[in-house]
């Protein structure tokens, strides 16, 4: 039976790091979940009043936000949340909101503060316990600590309201951290790596909340999910699993197989947009697991439908629709009652389906899993990975014995290579994208970089450039190499690969992939860019 773990909830006011706060808490062994900022106060109170060990909410964290508390349409929670009897930590906008709700004053700052800053704090405060960098002695004789933090704010807290005490500051921000009773606020982001001791601060807050550290991905967790699946499907229900061969869908399939055995049928659809050799690898892995499966080669059906389509969102919509059409046809033959998908947390937020920002998060892209399910699909949905991040899925995959070949494979988008082809998807661009991506991955493996990066692939579009082949000038395609580092795919940075690796990639792509004359390297981060171009 799935445990009702005690937890911390993060109220999401639309900040880009909201999920990162959740992940940091989980990394510290405390279960955390993301809720919209306007989550009903009565339900929060009910969670807080539960007994320990029965899903009790032990603490609340207010996330950052692109809004200002001074905006008329600023997202705000009920003011009595601060009086529910559990500690609250406000981060950036969340800190300003606590001050605002406490009757304090927030004003527009004369100087914006973005980036790294020296942060001075009162060392005796519980929030900063164990952060011992010396910052001297205050005029009042208090010991002061010093560390580097990551600031990202425009507004300034001018007054904290009743019972407020300043416990930290920077050169430009007189109120960079405060305490009001058992509630805390910080004007920086402890959840990001740029804040040197941010994780220690979050650990201290979780200790203030009295949280039990019992969140881990182990055999007990597997047993909980298997029990949950078995309870939902019942003793005679049948399920189908949309299998792509990636770690998410494969882990989902293994969990379902443990729960219901041969009442699970995996459906693997070749949409013609797979990576080089992927079809053969997936089929081999399926045969080795002993799971029932159906293989459908629908590649021509997908490619015919994509002919002439240039818009990225329209391509995703078409791929999603055909995938569901084909999947439904096969599922109907099987007579399945349930559809299992490997949807994870970032999938849901990218499609703005999780409701994590109270409707304020704009849709970035339709996700292949959650964005294209038509109402006509008369199957109940099972998503055993729905609340996990990619690193947690990998831990789970290792626990259930997923082969390393699948476990260590880079994430691959649901729309496949169509997400990496700018403009119309056609045979020539598919050939180039597939072959160039294989070279990128091969060179990273040779150099020992493959497992050090999050994703690595090639992008091809419609732009042409002149090259010299032999003694003749020739026009050919431009290939863009994209290699990024990330932890959760919500944010990503381009990888500073050694020039010799990039040189090998470029030389091999232009020599071995017919029709390519130029190779470029993408140096955009997410945000503002997305990882995949389409």
Active site amino acids = 92, 189, 191
Place of tokens 């003694």: 471
Question: How far is 240 from 342, CA to CA, in rounded Å?
Answer: 12
Q: What is the 3-state secondary structure (H, E, C) of 116-156?
A: EEEEEEECCCHHHCCCCCEEEECCCCCEEEEEEEEEEEEEE
DSSP H helical ranges for 335-426: 345-350, 390-399, 404-407
Question: How far is 464 from 400, CA to CA, in rounded Å?
Answer: 47
Q: What is the 3-state secondary structure (H, E, C) of 230-295?
A: HHHHCCCCCEEEEECCCHHHHHHHHHHHHHHHHHEEEEEEECCCCCCCHHHHHHHHHHHHCCCEEE
Q: Tell me the β-bridge partners of 107.
A: 156
Q: Using CB atoms within 10 Å of the CB of residue 172, give its burial: 0 to 12 exposed, 13 to 18 middle, 19+ buried.
A: middle
Cβ proximity of 294 and 330 under 8 Å: yes
Question: How far is 202 from 189, CA to CA, in rounded Å?
Answer: 10
Place of tokens 């072959």: 435
Question: How far is 329 from 323, CA to CA, in rounded Å?
Answer: 10
Give the number of other CB atoms < 10 A from CB of residue 404: 9
Question: How far is 234 from 227, CA to CA, in rounded Å?
Answer: 10
């Amino acid at each position: 039976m799935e445990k009702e773990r005690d937890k911390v909830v993060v109220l999401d006011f639309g900040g880009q790091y909201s999920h990162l706060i959740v992940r940091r808490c989980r990394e510290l062994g405390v279960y955390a979940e993301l809720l919209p900022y306007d989550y009903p106060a009565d339900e929060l109170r009910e969670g807080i009043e539960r007994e320990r060990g029965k899903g009790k909410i032990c603490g609340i964290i207010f996330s950052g936000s692109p809004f200002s508390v001074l905006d008329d349409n600023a997202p705000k929670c009920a003011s009595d949340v601060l009086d529910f009897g559990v500690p609250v930590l406000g981060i950036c906008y969340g800190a300003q909101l606590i001050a605002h709700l406490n009757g304090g004053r927030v004003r527009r700052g004369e100087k914006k503060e973005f980036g790294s800053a020296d942060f001075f704090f009162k060392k005796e405060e519980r929030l900063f316990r164990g952060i011992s960098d010396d910052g001297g002695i205050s005029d009042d004789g208090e010991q002061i600590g010093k560390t580097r933090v990551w600031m990202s704010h425009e507004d300034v807290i001018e007054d904290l309201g009743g019972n407020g005490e300043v416990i930290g500051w920077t050169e430009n921000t007189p109120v960079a951290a405060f305490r009001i009773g058992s509630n805390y606020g910080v004007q920086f982001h402890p959840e990001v790596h740029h804040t040197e001791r941010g994780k220690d601060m979050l650990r201290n807050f979780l200790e203030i909340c009295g949280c039990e550290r019992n969140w881990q991905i182990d055999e007990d967790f597997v047993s909980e999910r298997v029990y949950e699946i078995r309870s939902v499907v019942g003793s005679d229900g049948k399920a189908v699993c949309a299998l792509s061969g990636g770690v998410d869908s494969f882990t989902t399939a293994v969990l379902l197989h443990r729960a219901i055995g041969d009442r699970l049928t995996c459906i693997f659809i070749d949409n013609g947009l797979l990576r080089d050799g992927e079809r053969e690898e997936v089929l081999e892995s399926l045969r080795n697991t002993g799971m029932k499966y159906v293989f459908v080669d629908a590649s021509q059906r997908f490619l015919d439908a994509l002919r002439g389509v240039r818009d990225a969102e329209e391509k995703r919509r078409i791929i999603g629709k055909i995938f569901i059409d084909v999947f439904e046809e096969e599922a109907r033959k099987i007579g399945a009652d349930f559809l299992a998908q490997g949807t994870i947390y970032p999938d849901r937020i990218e499609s703005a389906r999780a409701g994590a920002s109270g409707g304020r998060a704009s849709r970035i892209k339709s996700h292949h899993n959650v964005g294209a399910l038509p109402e006509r699909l008369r199957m109940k949905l099972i998503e055993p990975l729905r609340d996990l991040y990619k690193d947690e899925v990998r831990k789970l995959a290792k626990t259930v014995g997923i082969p390393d070949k699948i476990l260590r494979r880079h994430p691959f988008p649901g729309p496949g290579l169509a997400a990496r082809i700018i403009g119309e998807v056609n045979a020539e661009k598919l050939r180039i994208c597939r072959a160039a991506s294989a070279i990128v991955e091969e060179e990273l493996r040779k150099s020992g970089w493959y497992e050090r990066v999050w994703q690595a692939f090639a992008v091809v579009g419609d732009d042409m450039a002149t090259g010299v082949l032999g003694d003749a000038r020739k026009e050919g395609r431009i290939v863009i190499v994209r290699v990024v580092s990330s932890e959760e795919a919500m944010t990503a940075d381009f990888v500073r690969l050694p020039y010799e690796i990039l040189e090998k990639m470029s030389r091999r792509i232009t020599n071995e992939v017919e029709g390519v004359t130029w190779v470029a390297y993408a140096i955009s981060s997410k945000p503002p860019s997305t990882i995949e171009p389409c």
